[in-house]
Amino acid sequence: MSTTAPNAAAPDWAAAGERSNRVALRFMAWVAVTLGRGAARLLLHPITLYFLCFAPAARRHSARYLARALGRAPSWRERYRHFHDFAAVTLDRLYFVRGQMGRFDLTIDGSALVDEALTEGRGAFLLGAHLGSFEALHAVGESRPNLRVAMVMYPDNARMIHGVLQAVAPDFQLGIIAVGRSGSTLEIRDWLDGGGLAGLLGDRVLADSHSRIVERPFLGRPARFSDGPLRLAMLLRRRVIFMVALYRGGRRYEVRFEPLADFRERIAEPAAREAAIQAALANYVARLEALCRELPTNWFNFYDFWREDPQP
């Protein structure tokens, strides 16, 4: 394991910006809402072909990742499916935020962890990744009226898609707590104290993070992860639940909740606190790696994750 200081430059994924065109997103949303999911899914094929033909950087990063997850060079079909699954999950976000869960075949495992956190009334962190669909969490909330989730995130990079989601689902309250600004920690604390759940995606590093950047072996090569979400959970003395909603193709999603770390009891010794944080991070990375191997086309980080391109 090695650590580095946060880079003052914008992170690779943030610098890339949103590639999607607002007009195209709104057109796809109109088709999805007006003509239905079946018609909208027909658009996924030209969208997938567009990215395969006209997004060379994303295509290159996808191929590198798939080779590691599969342990061999990916076939053309596997590379196509990676982009297609990303487009399919993005489309289904429209239906999840509109509360149309009946369109999907959903299985949920480990929801008792969420129920326990809600009963306790102190909230919890949900630590996920850009793997599958985080919006499928709303399927759990259908039978839990007290379930309140806010995403703790870097908001600018997804502003366009969030605007479209809000337009097609005006009654949907998209709770976001922006990181990297004064008072965000207190805002997270107050949200948790009110019994809310705070969702974070732990597989991207923020340039302005005050936490350490830690290199961990990931799919056969060192990769950079931030231990910030875990340090925040320890600071606020909360439990951390690993959450993922895997896309199984067609209408099928599998939602999983698993215990990751429990920092509710104060650890007095600094060395023991550090060991607990690093053990939880290693656990998180190991689970993410296992899921990438289980369902390779579910991981949606189309940028230079391993920093293999020449650095400026």
- Say if residue 85 is exposed, middle or buried (CB neighbours under 10 Å; 0-12, 13-18, 19+): buried
Identify the DSSP state of 146: T
SS3 304: coil
The b-or-e profile of 9-38 (16+ CB within 10 A means b, else e) is: eebbbbeeeeeeeeeebeebbebbbeeebe
CA nearest to 55, candidates 94, 16, 102, 25: 16
CA-CA distance, 239 to 263, in Å (whole number)? Answer: 5
CA-CA distance, 120 to 195, in Å (whole number)? Answer: 8
- CA count, 13 A, side-chain hemisphere, 274: 6
SS3 218: strand
Residue type, position 222, single letter: P
CA nearest to 243, candidates 143, 151, 145: 151
φ/ψ (deg, to 5) at 272: -70, -35
Residue type, position 75, single letter: S
The b-or-e profile of 281-308 (16+ CB within 10 A means b, else e) is: bebbbebbbebbeebbbbbbbbbbbbee
CA-CA distance, 263 to 180, in Å (whole number)? Answer: 23
- Say if residue 95 is exposed, middle or buried (CB neighbours under 10 Å; 0-12, 13-18, 19+): buried
One digit per residue, the tens of pLDDT, for the chain of length 312 reads 555 444 434 455 444 544 445 666 677 788 888 888 999 999 999 989 998 999 999 999 999 999 999 999 999 999 999 999 999 998 998 888 888 888 999 999 999 999 999 999 999 999 999 999 988 877 777 767 778 888 887 666 556 566 666 666 666 666 788 777 778 899 999 999 999 999 999 998 865 545 689 999 999 999 999 999 999 999 999 999 999 999 999 999 999 999 999 999 999 999 999 999 999 999 999 999 999 999 999 999 999 999 999 876
Helices (H) and strands (E) in the chain, counts: 12, 10
